[in-house]
Each structure stands twice: as structure tokens, then as C-alpha cells.
Amino acid sequence: MIRLFAVIERDLKKFKRNPVVLGMSILMPLIYLVILGNSFQGKLTDLPLAVVSQDSGPYADRLMEYLMAVQAGPRTFLVLPMDDQQKAVDGVRTGKYKAALIIPPDFSKRVAVSGRPDIGLFLDNTDSISAGTIRGLIDEALPSIRSEYVPIREANNEPLLRDINLYGKVDYYQSLVPGVVIMAIFLGTLTTGAFNLVMDRFLGIEESYLLTPLSKADIVGGLIISGLSITTMNALLIFATSMLITGIPFSRGVLNFFPILLVVVLTTLCLLSLMFAIMGRIGHPRIVGVLSGFLNVILFFPSGAVYPVASFPGWLKSFARVNPEAYAVDALKSILFKNAGMGNILGDLAFLALFTAAMMSLSIITFKRTL
């Protein structure tokens, strides 16, 4: 019993000597609850839906009333009335809207004369969860706009929804590939670069750096570059394997190899620099282990890799705007599923480059070159 209590006492003293570990072990479950609870809300809300109504008739008005009722009630989508059909469709292509609903000029007239009117729904089907939810709600709305009587036999003149997928079919399994690649980069940057520095410091090896004329920039830059080479190769291998497993045509990755490589390299540099800025002064690997799970949750889940950012609450959307993984996921999805060129992802690349420069500078400034 004496030896048992000695082990317990020693373990408690280790926690006392590492208040960060103790604090994080208490704080992390609470942060997990908040982040996960708001990332996976159970239902989608505030999905931006552009609506171009070219008809002022009663049935078009009824459809608009249904859309506004959904917006006021479950708030599944946010109705954005527009006048220009082309701008609405272009907004879907650029990611500004999740879908664009086009009500043609003769919609009410064709409903009234027992024709079979149709409306257009342009969907960003690369986000299969949002696209399926919007399509289902509007499909449910169409039969209800003709409610004057109940026909004896099934009518064949109900309004017909013609939804148009702007891109090739992307199932949910395939849509996870960009997120898997970003997670692989995160894990690679976690186990290289800054972690190696922490281990060297813990084992006393780092003291040898202090006997050399190496500057702080030399040490930080060298470790980041070595981590970049390893992590980039691992990420590209995982990218190719994921495409094969999920059935994404391998030719798509070959044709877009340079943009994909550029996004992977910038994302790796970005996360390596961030890890150095956060862990550059840590002296014990146990703290790295505690921080790894915490950083994975707050960077990966609010990135849009598994759930659309458009449905996040306002405060989490604000965090996503400064989350480098959100820009990396958006760029990879655009390249892989929308066949986007360099011009379409310049905003994502610019943010990753600026974030890398800022974190690299902060890492060098805060790096401790003394015992």
C-alpha cells in the first residue's frame, strides 16, 4: 500500500509541476462540447437560397409564401430575392449561394390551365447535404400550392421541379476526401517540425544548437522545411489513395496536379508555422499530446470538411473566416469537384500565404535561443 500511495503522490506532483496540462485536461472537454455541439447541429439552418421570381401570379406568390414560412420557422434556408437569373446562377457557382430557384414568367398561368409547369433549381451539388435538404423542401412545397380541391384520381399536372446539378455527381463519401487530406497534413505537421524541437529540448539535444552560430531563423526555417518535405509526400499519397478508394477518377487529380500540389504545400507551411508559433517555447512532449487533440477539433471540424460552414452560428462562422483549414478545404473542393482553375482559388491561396508569413514571423520572434 505504501508503494501504491507513493506512485499516486508522484503522479499528482507531475500534474502540479505542469499546470498547463492540468488546465487543458479540464478545459478541453468543455471546448469539445461547444465546438462539436455547434458544428453538428442535427439540422441545417440559414442555407443561402437565391430566388428569381419572374411571375407575379397567385401560384408564384403561394410558393414564395411557403419559402418565407420555412425561413421564419425552421430557418432551413435564407431566402434572397433577386432579379437577375444569371447573377443568381453565377452566385451558386462561386459558392455565394447554395442554390438558385428560378420561377418562370408563365408559372401561374400554366398551373391555372392545368398544364404541367416547371421551375428551375440550380444546386451546388458538391455539398450533398445542403443540396439534398433544399431539393427535398422545395419538392414538398410544389403539391401544396394547388389546394383548391382534392382530385378523385391522381393529377398529372402538378408543378414539376427540374433541378440542375452544376457539377458531376459527388456523393458524401467522396466529399470527405479534401477533409481527409487536410487532416493528414495536420497530423504530419504535428509530428514533425515543432514536435521534433520539443523532443530535442526535452532530451537536452537542443543545447547543441546554442553552441553554433545558427540564428533563430536558421533553426526555425530548417525544421519547417524538413517537416514540409515529409508531410507533403504523405499528403499526396493519402490524396491518391483516397481518390482510388472513393471512386473519384484518378485523371482528375493528374490534370489538376499543380493546383493541388500548391494548396498542399501552402497548407503544410501554414500549419507548420502555426505549430511553431504555438509550441515553440514548450519544453515537454506531454503538453504537445494534450494540445494535439484540442487543435484538431478547433481547426478541423469548423473547416467545412464534414458540415457546411453556412449553417454554423455567427460566432463559429467568424472563427471559420480565420481558420486556415477552412480555406484549404474550400480550395481542394473547388479543384477536385468543380474543376476550378487557379483564378478561382486565388482568394484561398492568398489567405494561406499571408497566414504563413504572419505565423513564420511570429515563430522566429518568439523562438527561445537560450536555456
pLDDT(320) > 50: yes
Same domain for 202 and 335, yes or no, is: yes
Is the distance from CB of 171 to CB of 342 less than 8 angstroms? no
pLDDT(11) > 60: no
Domain that holds residue 347: 2-39+172-366
Same domain for 287 and 356, yes or no, is: yes
Determine, yes or no, domain membership for 371: no
* Calpha distance 54→170 (Å, rounded): 31
Side chain identity at residue 355, one-letter code: F
Same domain for 272 and 176, yes or no, is: yes
> Residue 78 forms beta bridges with which residues?
48
Tens-place pLDDT, residues 209-242: 666 666 767 777 777 777 788 888 888 888 888 8
Determine, yes or no, domain membership for 14: yes
* Calpha distance 166→247 (Å, rounded): 20
Tens-place pLDDT, residues 64-77: 888 898 888 888 88
Same domain for 137 and 219, yes or no, is: no
Query: Residue 86 is part of a domain; what is its CATH number?
Result: 3.40.1710.10
| Domain end among 146, 165, 184 | 165
Determine, yes or no, domain membership for 284: yes
pLDDT of residue 287: 78
> Could you tell me where the beta strands, DSSP code E, fall in the chain?
47-53, 77-82, 99-103, 118-123, 160-165
Structure letter (DSSP) for residue 122: E
Same domain for 195 and 331, yes or no, is: yes
Same domain for 201 and 182, yes or no, is: yes
Highest mean pLDDT among 14-23, 56-65, 78-87: 78-87
Residue 297's H or E segment, with its range, is: helix 285-300
Give the pLDDT band (50/70/90) at residue 348.
very high
Tens-place pLDDT, residues 295-314: 888 888 888 887 788 888 88
Give the pLDDT band (50/70/90) at residue 371.
low
Same domain for 220 and 81, yes or no, is: no
Q: What average pLDDT score do residues 270-291 get?
A: 80
pLDDT(7) > 50: no
| CB-based contacts of 50, cutoff 8 Å, min separation 6 | 80, 82, 88, 91, 92, 97, 99, 100, 101
Determine, yes or no, domain membership for 67: yes
For the chain, how big is the Rg over CA atoms in Å? 26
Q: What average pLDDT score do residues 184-212 get?
A: 72
pLDDT of residue 327: 94
pLDDT of residue 358: 93
Determine, yes or no, domain membership for 306: yes
Same domain for 199 and 56, yes or no, is: no
First to last CA, the chain: 40
pLDDT of residue 210: 66
pLDDT(51) > 90: yes
Same domain for 90 and 120, yes or no, is: yes
Q: What average pLDDT score do residues 20-41 get?
A: 58
**What average pLDDT is seen over the chain?**
79
| Domain end among 127, 142, 165 | 165
| Domain end among 135, 150, 165 | 165
Same domain for 326 and 206, yes or no, is: yes
* Calpha distance 126→166 (Å, rounded): 9
Q: What average pLDDT score do residues 264-272 get?
A: 92
Same domain for 176 and 161, yes or no, is: no
Determine, yes or no, domain membership for 25: yes
Is the distance from CB of 130 to CB of 124 less than 8 angstroms? yes
Residue carrying C-alpha cell 447541429: 41
3-class state of residue 339 by DSSP: coil
Determine, yes or no, domain membership for 300: yes
Cell numbers at residue 125, please?
451539388
3-class state of residue 51 by DSSP: strand
| CB-based contacts of 177, cutoff 8 Å, min separation 6 | 239, 242, 243, 246, 248, 332, 336
* Calpha distance 64→130 (Å, rounded): 20
Structure letter (DSSP) for residue 162: E
Tens-place pLDDT, residues 120-174: 899 988 888 888 888 888 888 877 776 554 444 555 566 777 777 888 777 767 8
Q: What average pLDDT score do residues 250-266 get?
A: 89
Same domain for 218 and 299, yes or no, is: yes
Number of domains in the chain: 2
Give the pLDDT band (50/70/90) at residue 16.
low
Tell me the H-state helices in 100-256: 107-112, 128-144, 172-175, 177-191, 194-203, 216-246, 250-255
What percent helix, strand, coil does the chain show, rounded to 5? 65, 10, 25
pLDDT(263) > 90: yes
Give the pLDDT band (50/70/90) at residue 207.
low
